[in-house]
């Protein structure tokens, strides 16, 4: 009630109303007491005067000694006289009211009192009985009454105006005192109320400030993106923020008043390293902050969480010692570190391959000349072999005719023996085959060297017209080592492809990456038989379309939407960076305004589709 009063804007008016009501009630009650006291005072004055007269003026001894006193019948504001029903003195004859009183005395009444406020002057009348006494019989024996009978009475008239005037003065004093008291009490209570309200408001502001600070600190800890717990000296959790509970898969209520090490280590063996217990106990001992300590927590779901934690003592300690423990989930950071290390290894490997590529370009240049020599010489040997075969044919004809000459028989027999010994027919056939195979091998080496030379060439920074079929052929030749053991490659290239304006080197990279991916997808099927990589090219709808199909595993449905995302790969660690298709999409879509799509069926294979516009819009 008091709090609600202090909250009101007009709090000061309530004590005024309260004291006003109390003052009015007190004033009304006191005034009513004063009003009733007029009659009471008159009654008491009449009674007192009756007793005084009864004990003095009707005493025969006093009347004899002081007849003046006996005759006196007035006191200030009071008149009195003795009356009798049979008086000796006419002055003592009773009037009607007095006779009525005497009758009532004879009936047992002890007094009669009655106001006469409507008469002038206003007064009260009081009358008491006078009884016959022994000494009264000497003078009043003629009345025929005996001792103890009603002889008469003492009639007292008390004027009311003096009493009323005194009471009016008392009313004024009473009213003034109440008014002054009301003013003093109201002002005092209002002042006290204002002081009380001032202190209450200050207390309320302090409470509000404390509440806001408490809420602020709570919001701070609840908003932290790291776990925050307070532990007592027994390692029990006394406070935990929501993030700490989330990191280990529990609720805050589950954590409170439980040993933190039991929560985060689960069923870890007693002899296993529990770094938090060690760090907490050491901090309790020396008060030193310990930070950036790696550890592994057990999540409620059963998996492990890599974390880093810090322990620091509380500066203000109540109810024993406490420490503050903060920790963060670094699983993602560690995973990123591992990926970074893998990527660094892959980049190093890439740098090596770039160096190898540069060397390959130089080597290809160096190999190209001797290969040409070898090819030319093999062609010369083949032509010479043909001439020798022609010569041997002519010799065979000569030999058949020479056998008719007896003198040449011995020489011809020796020649035939030599022919049989060297198996001339077989030697001629195999030599021809060896020369043909050598020419084909040298030609293939020359093609591969040329393909490597063109592929390793950095290319122009500006777009130029290029033959897509030649780009495809070069890419197939360069990456042959990737696919020849797991797949056969079929080329179905259109003869009417127009040259398109492009960055030939980058398009070569895209085709090579997709062919290598196809070979890896076929290898992942782990089939004994070779798979097939089919590459087609055609011109339609003002676009050159290249399709690279494989009979590999296909792309899983859950991974299909991520294949072009950076660093996404389904390959084993060390076999891919997850950048190939991202770069390919940037080259085809971003740089050439083309399309890079795929069609896949899990367990059947995948087809990547490259579409390049012939008439590309200039940007």
Packing angle, helices 424-456 and 331-402, rounded to 10: 150
* Strand arrangement of the beta sheet that strand 487-493 belongs to: 487-493, 531-540, 543-550, 605-613, 595-601
pLDDT of residue 610: 92
Architecture of domain 224-329: 2-Layer Sandwich (3.30)
Task: Find tokens 């006003």 and name the residue.
Answer: 20
Mean pLDDT by 10 residues, the chain (619 residues): 59 69 81 75 85 70 49 68 76 84 88 88 89 70 71 86 78 83 80 74 82 77 81 87 86 87 74 77 86 85 86 68 86 80 64 53 58 68 72 71 70 75 72 72 60 52 84 86 88 90 85 88 85 92 91 84 69 53 84 88 89 76
CA distances from 58 to 66, 126, 132 (A): 11, 17, 11
Pair 88, 97: CB distance under 8 Å: no
**CATH architecture label of 459-613:** 2-Layer Sandwich (3.30)
Q: Please, what is the angle between helix 504-524 and helix 424-456, to 10°? A: 120
> Under DSSP, is residue 108 helix (H, G, I), strand (E, B) or coil?
coil
What residues contact 558, with CB distance under 8 A and at least 6 apart? none
Who contacts 90 (Cβ-Cβ below 8 Å, separation ≥6)? none
pLDDT of residue 536: 94
The CA distance from 517 to 196, in Å, is 84
Pairing of strands 464-466, 500-502: antiparallel
Task: Tell me the backbone φ, ψ of residue 598, rounded to 5 degrees.
Answer: -150, 150
Question: And the tokens for 151?
Answer: 């002889």
Residue 35: strand, helix, or coil = helix
Measured CA to CA, the distance from residue 577 to residue 573 in angstroms comes to: 8
* Every domain of the chain and the residues it spans: 1-223, 224-329, 336-448, 459-613
pLDDT at 219: 76
């Amino acid at each position: 009630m008091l709090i609600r009063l202090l909250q009101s804007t007009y709090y000061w008016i309530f004590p005024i109303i309260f004291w006003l009501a109390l003052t009015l009630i007190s004033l009304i009650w006191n005034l009513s007491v004063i009003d009733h006291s007029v009659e009471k005072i008159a009654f008491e004055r009449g009674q007192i005067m009756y007793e005084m007269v009864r004990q003095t003026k009707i005493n025969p001894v006093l009347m004899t000694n002081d007849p003046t006193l006996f005759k006196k019948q007035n006191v200030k504001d009071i008149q009195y006289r003795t009356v009798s029903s049979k008086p000796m003195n006419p002055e003592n004859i009773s009037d009607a009211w007095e006779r009525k009183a005497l009758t009532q005395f004879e009936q047992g009444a002890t007094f009669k009192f009655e106001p006469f406020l409507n008469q002038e002057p206003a007064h009260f009348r009081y009358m008491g009985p006078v009884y016959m006494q022994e000494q009264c019989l000497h003078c009043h024996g003629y009345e025929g009454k005996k001792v103890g009978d009603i002889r008469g009475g003492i009639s007292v008239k008390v004027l009311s105006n003096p009493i009323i005037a005194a009471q009016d003065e008392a009313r004024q004093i009473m009213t003034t005192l109440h008014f002054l008291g009301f003013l003093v009490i109201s002002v005092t209570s209002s002042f006290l109320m204002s002081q009380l309200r001032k202190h209450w408001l200050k207390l309320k502001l302090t409470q509000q400030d404390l509440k806001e600070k408490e809420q602020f600190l709570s919001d701070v800890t609840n908003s932290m993106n790291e776990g925050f717990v307070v532990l007592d000296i027994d390692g029990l959790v006394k406070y935990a923020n929501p993030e700490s509970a989330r990191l280990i898969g529990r609720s805050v209520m589950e954590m409170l008043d439980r040993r933190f090490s039991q929560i985060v280590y689960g069923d870890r063996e007693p002899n296993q390293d529990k770094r938090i217990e060690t760090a907490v106990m050491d901090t309790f001992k020396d008060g030193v902050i310990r930070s950036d300590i790696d550890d592994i927590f057990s999540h409620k779901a059963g998996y492990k969480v890599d974390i880093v934690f810090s322990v620091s003592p509380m500066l203000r300690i109540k109810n024993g010692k406490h420490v503050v423990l903060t920790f963060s989930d670094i699983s993602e950071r560690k995973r990123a570190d591992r990926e970074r290390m893998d990527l660094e290894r892959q980049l190093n490997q890439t740098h090596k391959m770039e160096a190898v590529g540069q060397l390959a370009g130089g080597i290809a240049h160096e190999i190209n000349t001797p290969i040409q020599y070898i090819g030319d010489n093999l062609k010369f040997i083949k032509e010479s072999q043909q001439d020798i075969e022609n010569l041997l044919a002519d010799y065979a004809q000569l030999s058949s005719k020479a056998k008719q000459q007896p003198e040449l028989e011995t020489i011809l027999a020796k020649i035939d023996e030599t022919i049989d010994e060297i198996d001339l027919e077989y030697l001629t056939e195999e030599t021809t085959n060896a020369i043909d195979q050598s020419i084909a091998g040298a030609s293939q080496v020359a093609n591969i060297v040329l393909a490597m030379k063109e592929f390793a060439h950095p290319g122009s920074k500006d777009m130029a017209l290029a033959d897509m079929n030649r780009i495809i052929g070069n890419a197939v030749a360069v990456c042959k080592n990737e696919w020849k053991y797991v797949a056969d490659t079929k080329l179905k290239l259109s003869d009417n492809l127009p040259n398109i304006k492009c960055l030939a080197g980058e398009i070569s990279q895209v085709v090579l990456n997709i062919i290598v991916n196809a070979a890896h997808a076929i290898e992942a099927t782990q089939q004994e038989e070779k798979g097939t990589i089919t590459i087609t090219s055609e011109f339609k709808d003002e676009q050159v379309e290249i399709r690279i199909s494989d009979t590999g595993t296909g792309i899983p449905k859950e991974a299909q939407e991520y294949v072009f995302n950076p660093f996404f790969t389904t390959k084993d660690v060390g076999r891919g960076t997850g950048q190939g298709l991202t770069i390919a999409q940037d080259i085809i879509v971003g740089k050439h305004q083309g399309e890079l799509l795929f069609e896949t069926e899990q367990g059947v294979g995948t087809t990547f589709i490259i579409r390049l516009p012939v008439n590309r819009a200039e940007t």
